[in-house]
């Protein structure tokens, strides 16, 4: 990388809340935000947003007539983008690039419109424009009155980190000076949950934690879905940075089937090595793992880390046992955890490992994400 890319601001909304104090307090607790909730005709383990955040999002929906019919994923993207721009001290109308993606897109609206079509043979006038993937960045650009480029994409569960990769490329090329990048996902819908059940990866736990992400001794899959969104405000070499992106990596596994990942996650081996560059392995203090709570997903990533780091592993953690898997936005929520650990100089582990005390200051943390098809991304986050 030619420049250190500054994370000037970071704004999220997730089952942990939306302000730094609440989120930090949540990470110091061993409690999970996952709960049993009826969605459609069934009960599922899910991680929904807090009621206070849902109220704020409802107010955004009512703030402009055109927002009334937007999907929850779009409303969340508006919320986090507004707050990130305010944190960064940017102004409405500035030339800000926007790249916000989603794994599933306008899930709630799409299911609603499809149900109406099946039952009546008709669909509302706005069904097409409100369910396009470009909905996210285009509405954020409208809301911020941005004069920069706007991009939307879907690369399954690594979507948010791919958005950040793209933003870094624009900044490094000098084609933009400021960028908002991240992801938004509202997947707690009947059809989406049914799809995860059909894959036989959804949690059926009755004791302890519903999602056992990073518990390498679990005997069955325990993935749980959560909802949330997050973006980072990025610039080149800003002095007021929360942290810096100092390396990035990406790779794709060779597929055996539609959702496969190799036994030792070769894609992660390549992406982590690429992100570190010339930095000695011993300088990596921690890794925020993707770790979705499935047997193979967790174990293959752990084996990849072993392959790269040998016997001297960095500290390992994940947040999906606490907030569930938020699909396209999961990477930026993992990035938030990494930035928080660097700023607080505190390691936030999982309930499934032994208690860890830091023996040296944390300076460098890797953040992993991977989606269906083995498309891995790793970011190196540094102070």
Interstrand relation of 97-101 and 179-185 (parallel, antiparallel or unpaired): parallel
Cβ–Cβ under 8 Å, residues 195 and 205:
no
Q: How many structural domains are present in the chain?
A: 2
Structure tokens of 153? 């994409």
The CA distance from 355 to 248, in Å, is 30
Determine the pLDDT at residue 261. 72
Q: Does residue 220 sit in helix, strand or coil?
A: coil
Q: Are residues 199 and 276 in the same domain?
A: no
Considering the domain architecture, whether residues 29 and 155 belong to the same structural domain is answered as: yes
Do 207 and 311 belong to one domain? no
User: What gap in Å lies between CA 237 and CA 249, rounded to an integer?
Assistant: 20
Angle (CA) 35 39 44, round 5°: 40
Q: State the burial class of residue 332 (Cβ atoms within 10 Å of its Cβ: 0-12, 13-18, 19+).
A: buried
Mean pLDDT of 120-146: 94
Q: What is the pLDDT of residues 163-218, one digit of tens each?
A: 999 999 999 999 999 999 999 999 999 999 999 999 999 999 998 999 999 999 99
Question: What pTM value is reported for the model?
Answer: 0.96
CB within 8 Å of 208: residues ≥ 6 apart: none
Mean pLDDT of the chain: 95
What is the bridge-based pairing of β-strands 42-47 and 35-39? antiparallel
219 shares its domain with 293: no
- Per-residue pLDDT at 291 exceeds 60: yes
Is 274 found in the same domain as 156?
A: no
According to the model, what pLDDT value does residue 302 have?
97
Q: How many other CB atoms are found less than 10 A from the CB of residue 5?
A: 27
256 and 115 inside one domain: no
Domain co-membership, 291 together with 221: no
Q: Residue 220: CB partners within 8 Å, gap ≥ 6?
A: 204, 295
For 206, the token pair is 């009755």
Statement: residue 353 has pLDDT above 90: no
* Same domain, residue pair 210 and 250: no
CATH number of the domain to which 313 belongs: 3.40.47.10
Diameter over CA atoms, the chain:
64
DSSP letters for 361-383: ---EEEEEEEETTTEEEEEEEE-
What pLDDT score does 257 carry?
A: 52
> What is the reported pLDDT for 78?
98
Q: Do residues 248 and 379 make contact, with C-beta atoms less than 8 angstroms apart?
A: yes
Whether residue 135 is found in the same domain as residue 89:
yes
Query: Does residue 197 share a domain with residue 82?
Result: yes
Choose among 371, 318, 298: nearest CA to 27: 318
- Of 309, 301, 307, 269, the closest CA to residue 285 belongs to 309
Domain limits for position 223:
5-236
Residue 256 is classified by DSSP as: S
Last residue within a domain, chosen from 236, 257, 285 = 236
Task: Assign 273 to helix, strand or coil.
Answer: helix
Angle at 228 between CA 170 and CA 372, to 5 degrees: 70
Q: What is the pLDDT of residues 26-54, one digit of tens each?
A: 999 999 999 999 999 999 999 999 999 99
**Per-residue pLDDT reduced to its tens digit, 218-258:** 999 999 999 999 999 999 989 889 999 999 999 998 766 54
Look at residues 236, 263, 280 and tell me which one is the last residue of a structural domain: 236
Residues in the chain: 383
**Cα separation, 221 vs 213, whole angstroms:** 9
Note whether 33 and 127 are same-domain residues. yes
pLDDT at 1: 86
- Domain stops at, among 201, 236, 271: 236
- For the segment 75-97, the average pLDDT, to the nearest whole number, is 95
Residues 213 and 265 occupy one common structural domain: no
């Amino acid at each position: 990388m030619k420049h250190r890319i500054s994370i000037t601001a970071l704004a999220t909304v997730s089952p942990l809340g939306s302000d730094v104090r609440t989120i930090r307090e949540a990470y110091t607790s061993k409690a999970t935000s996952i709960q049993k909730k009826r969605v459609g005709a069934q009960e599922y383990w899910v991680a929904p947003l807090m009621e206070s955040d849902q109220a704020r999002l409802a107010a955004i929906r009512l703030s402009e007539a055109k927002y009334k019919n937007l999907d929850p994923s779009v409303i969340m993207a508006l919320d986090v983008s507004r707050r990130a721009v305010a944190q960064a001290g940017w102004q409405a109308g500035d030339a800000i690039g926007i790249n916000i993606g989603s794994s599933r897109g306008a899930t709630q609206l799409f299911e609603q419109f499809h149900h109406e079509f099946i039952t009546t043979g008709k669909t509302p006038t706005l069904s097409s424009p409100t369910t396009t993937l470009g909905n996210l960045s285009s509405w954020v650009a409208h809301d911020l009155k941005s004069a920069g480029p706007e991009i939307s994409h879907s690369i399954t569960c690594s979507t948010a980190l791919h958005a950040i990769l793209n933003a870094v490329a624009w900044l490094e090329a000098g084609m933009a000076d400021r960028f908002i990048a991240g992801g938004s996902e509202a997947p707690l819908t009947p059809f989406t949950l049914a799809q995860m059940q059909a894959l036989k990866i959804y949690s059926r736990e009755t004791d302890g934690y519903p999602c056992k992400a990073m518990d390498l001794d679990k005997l069955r899959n325990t993935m749980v879905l959560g909802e949330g969104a997050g973006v980072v405000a990025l610039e080149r070499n800003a002095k007021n940075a929360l942290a810096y992106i100092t390396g990035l990596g990406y790779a794709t596994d060779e597929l055996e089937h539609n959702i496969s990942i190799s036994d030792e996650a070769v894609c992660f081996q390549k992406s982590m090595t690429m992100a570190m560059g010339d930095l000695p392995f011993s300088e990596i203090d921690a890794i925020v793992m993707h770790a979705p709570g499935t047997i193979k997903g967790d174990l293959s990533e752990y084996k990849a880390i072993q392959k790269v780091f040998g016997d001297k592993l960095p500290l390992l953690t994940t947040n999906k046992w606490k907030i569930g898997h938020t699909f396209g936005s999961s990477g930026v929520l993992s990035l938030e955890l990494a930035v928080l650990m660097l700023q607080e100089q505190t390691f936030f582990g999982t309930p499934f490992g032994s208690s860890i005390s830091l023996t040296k200051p944390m300076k460098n943390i890797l953040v992993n994400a991977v989606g269906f098809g083995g498309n891995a991304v790793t970011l190196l986050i540094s102070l």
